[in-house]
Chains A and B, each alone.
Chain A
Amino acid sequence: MTLLSVKNLSIGYKTKKGLLKAVDNISFDLEKGLPLGFVGESGCGKTTIGMALMGLLPENAVILEGSIQFQGEDLVRLTEKQWRKVRGAKIAMIFQAAMNALNPVHRVDEQIKEAIITHQPDMSDADLSDRLNALFDLVDIPVARMKDYPHEYSGGMKQRVIIAMALACDPDLIIADEPTTALDVIVQDQILKEIRKVQQKIRTGLIFISHDIAVVASVCDRICVMYAGQIVETGTKKEVFTSPRHPYTLSLLGSYLSLDNLDDIVIPDMQEPPDLLSDIGSCRFADNCRVCSETCKKEEPGWVQISATHKAFCCEPQIIRGSHGKN
């Protein structure tokens, strides 16, 4: 059953120099209780999508077109008041702990409690404390440390609390935006396991955003690769990893694949993505693409369906297959 269906979503930022189209005509679906990963470099629009799903776009952002169907409602049309019933209750977000996401002057349990009370004001004190205990248990924080202040926690513990906070009201969809980026490798690994474990246990939909394709792959079975405001390839983890069809995916994997696979992958020096202030009207990756043809520079590419789950946004997807098809 489809939980979330995004159709032709475009989002722009009003800037001094004009409208910057950060997200351009994006569509995707998410099945109930499944994880979906978004990967791409910074500025590719992945965070903007996350914020749009929370209704927390900055003031200068405008949704230009498209719809976000979630449980029979179009989120694009919600008023601020309606949004407040969705946020935290049905859709929750896991922030980066390193980014000061916890309020330093309130106790940790209080910050989680207020999320629950806001959406379930009738909950009894006993139920509330049961719920808190269960949440801290779920993310493996000793209940005894519940009443601490955020600065008394380590980075990993803060991140766990933030996960617990997102889970507080049993949301149907969780958005995790770079939740492990600033953590050191070992903690990052633990947190990823935690997220995966929790997601499987409570069967919630998950949108996982990261610049690191390996991190995304460790949590999600389906991956969307984004470049310059567009989704350029989407497929199952296996499809994207073993037979990438978009040259950009290939270069992303290039920075990830082990050394012995590198023989047949040449990673060119990457240039900056195109300026999103102007209409582009051609393949956005053309300048960086080593299989770029004349058509690529003239026309917008179209979607090429490779399998039921796998498709790429490229004019020349066959060429990639040829070059990378050996394994």
Chain B
Amino acid sequence: MLNKYSLQRFYKGWQIFIENPLGKTGVIILVVFMFMAIASFFVPLIGPMYDPMTGIDPDIRVSTGPSLTHWLGTDNVGRDLFAQLLEGAKVAFIVGLSAAFISIVIGTLVGMVAGYTGGLLDAFLMRTADIIMVLPSLVILLILASLFGQFNIWIIVFIIAIMRWPAVSRVIRSQTLSLKHRPFIEASRVAGASHLRIIFRHIMPNVLPLAFLYMTFRVTAAILVEAALSFLGFGDPSQVSWGMMLQWVWKSGHMFQAPYWLIPPGMCISLLTLAFYLLGRAMDEVLDPRLRKEGQA
């Protein structure tokens, strides 16, 4: 599959992508956050005081502002806010990428099957998608949390993924429909290829770029929902995340006194969302030539 032609196409796509100021900004922000996420593995090594969850500065009992030992200050029990912020970056990536990945796997499979088979199965899958699509995922997570108790982070990821596949499947389905009657698919059907082979060998490579485009948008959604859930106090209690930090500053009554605590986590969530959004928009332009700069006849 990776011949010279597709490499060239990839290179060309990358060029359009990186020339785009939006895409460039997105990539830069993303790289910064990746460094933060990587750094989160090393910070606790400095000393037990810098463990984001359990590290407590023995000299500090109240929330303090930025200092040399604690760059962003500490929370009300003396934990280092910067260490928490780095840990939050890691969690955001894990949550965002894994939830988005699961949801595009489900969405792509459902979309391809629905589009390829058509008929009743198609109708059933798409109606299911419609129903899930109108449901507010945070509210669903809340009601589930009330019934099943606190979730750990992986169950949250999985539920978010389950809530987020429908939009992907719709797009993949319509793409599959348009591919279904292309000559190369017809030809392999005539040649006796099985349905599975046609779906995975011929349709999937053609819908995957689109699926990845959608993945960038899903990442954002997953990060936001997890953050909101943690913020409301229904997140994984054993995990530090940006949402959790906001929950702590809010619930401990420090939000009017500790801007050094209130501002960073929310800004990180917003910036990471922005980065993935910009990335998606720029990828959109690579995949859809109509959106490129006009006036170049």
Contacts and interface: CB of A to CB of B under 8 A. Distances in A.
A20 interface: yes
Interface in B103-153: none
Contacts, number: 11
A13 interface: yes
Contacts of B296: 15-16
A115 B167 CA distance: 42
B297 A59 contact: no
B295 interface: yes
B70 to A, nearest CB: 53
A13 B297 CA distance: 8
Contacts of A20: 297
A198 to B, nearest CB: 33
Contacts of A59: 295
B292 to A, nearest CB: 11
Nearest to B295: A60
Contacts of A60: 295, 297
A16 B297 CA distance: 8
A268 interface: no
A322 interface: no
Nearest to A17: B296
A59 B295 CA distance: 7
A16 B294 CA distance: 11
Interface in B249-297: 295-297
A78 B297 CA distance: 25
A58 interface: yes
Interface string A201-235: 00000000000000000000000000000000000
A229 B297 CA distance: 16
A22 to B, nearest CB: 9
Contacts of A58: 295, 297
11 contacts: A13-B297, A14-B295, A15-B296, A15-B297, A16-B296, A20-B297, A58-B295, A58-B297, A59-B295, A60-B295, A60-B297
Interface of A: 13-16, 20, 58-60
Given A15-B297, A20-B297, 6 more contacts: A15-B296, A16-B296, A58-B295, A58-B297, A59-B295, A60-B295
